[in-house]
């Protein structure tokens, strides 16, 4: 069995080993982003999204003070054209991870997310959702090409550099994908001044 070396995937693996996160430009091209954005917006208009919850059975007021996004879980088996493109790419990546670095990714889960103006997601670790099988978090941004820094909505990753905390500030530009170790890196979404669109998901073990 031979594996064709993929330079983009190799860079991600190297970044993950060195700094526990990786930022990839154009993981999805602008056409793919547009397809996914349109699909997200259609489903949102059809009222399929629900208010995101935190953990289990938390008081809604508390939840709202922690995160304000609306989400829709994706079902791979019911994918439309846009979601098929998405899952094909993800599956290709997962296969590569499993073959080249024995990551043992067995499951995945992804949801669309829409942050209305004024919302945010306070600092957290993705495994606080009581799911220690979450190994890698992936965020894929679906905003318009003219997304501006003054729209807010930065993803801030808190990293430790020789004992001091540093912030990695990442704007949600279209086609950009961020991958990080779910169990290790705390992060937050800063307040959004313009509707912010994405797909977030987790690659899971066992």
Ligand X SMILES: O=C(O)CCC(=O)C(=O)O
Interface with Fe ion by CB under 5 A: which residues?
126
**Chain contacts with ligand X (rule: CB under 6 A):** 121, 126, 139, 155, 187, 189, 198, 200
Choose between 93 and 121: whose C-beta lies nearer to ligand X.
121
For 14, list phi and psi in degrees, rounded to 5: -65, -45
Q: Which does residue 90 touch among ligand X, Fe ion, none (CB within 5 to 8 A, set by kind)? A: none
Q: How far is the CB of 177 from ligand X (least distance, A)?
A: 10
Choosing among ligand X, Fe ion, none, which partner's interface includes residue 198 (Cβ < 5 to 8 Å by kind)?
A: ligand X
Structure tokens at 61: 């007021």
Q: Which of 35/126 has CB closer to Fe ion?
A: 126
> Strand ranges (DSSP E) for 38-148?
50-51, 70-73, 105-115, 121-124, 134-141
Contact 189, 128 (CB under 8 A): no
Our CA dihedral for 5, 176, 120, 205, rounded to 10 degrees, sits at -10
CB-nearest residue to Fe ion: 126
Least spacing, CB of residue 69 vs ligand X, in Å = 7
The total of other beta-carbon atoms located within 10 Å of residue 34's CB is 16
Nearest C-alpha neighbor of 113 from the set 21, 201, 24: 201
- Judging by DSSP bridges, how do beta strands 164-170 and 155-161 pair with one another? antiparallel
Nearer of residues 39 and 198 to ligand X, judged by Cβ: 198
Closest residue by Cα to residue 24 from 193, 196, 179: 179
Query: Given the complex with Fe ion, which of 175 and 201 has the nearer CB atom?
Result: 201
In angstroms, give the least distance from the CB of 68 to ligand X: 11
Q: Which does 72 bind (CB under 5 to 8 A by kind): Fe ion, ligand X, none?
A: none
Binding partner of residue 155 among ligand X, Fe ion, none, CB under 5 to 8 Å per kind? ligand X
Residue 39 interacts with, from ligand X, Fe ion, none (CB under 5-8 Å by kind): none
């Amino acid at each position: 069995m031979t594996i064709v070396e993929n330079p983009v995937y190799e860079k991600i693996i190297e970044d993950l080993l060195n700094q526990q996160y990786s930022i990839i430009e154009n993981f999805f091209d602008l056409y793919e982003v547009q397809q996914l954005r349109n699909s997200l917006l259609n489903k949102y208009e059809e009222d399929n999204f629900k208010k995101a919850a935190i953990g289990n059975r938390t008081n809604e007021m508390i939840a709202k003070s922690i995160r304000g996004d609306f989400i829709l879980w994706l079902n791979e088996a019911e994918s439309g054209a846009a979601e098929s493109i998405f899952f094909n790419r993800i599956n290709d990546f997962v296969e590569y991870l499993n073959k080249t670095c024995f990551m043992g990714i067995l499951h995945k889960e992804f949801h669309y997310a829409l942050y209305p103006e004024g919302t945010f997601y306070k600092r957290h670790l993705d495994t606080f959702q009581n799911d220690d099988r979450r190994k890698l978090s992936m965020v894929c941004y679906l905003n318009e090409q003219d997304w501006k820094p003054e729209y807010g909505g930065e993803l801030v990753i808190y990293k430790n550099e020789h004992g001091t905390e540093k912030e990695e500030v990442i704007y949600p530009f279209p086609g950009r994908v961020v991958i990080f170790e779910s169990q290790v890196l705390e992060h937050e979404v800063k307040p959004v001044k313009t509707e912010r669109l994405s797909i977030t998901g987790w690659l899971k073990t066992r």
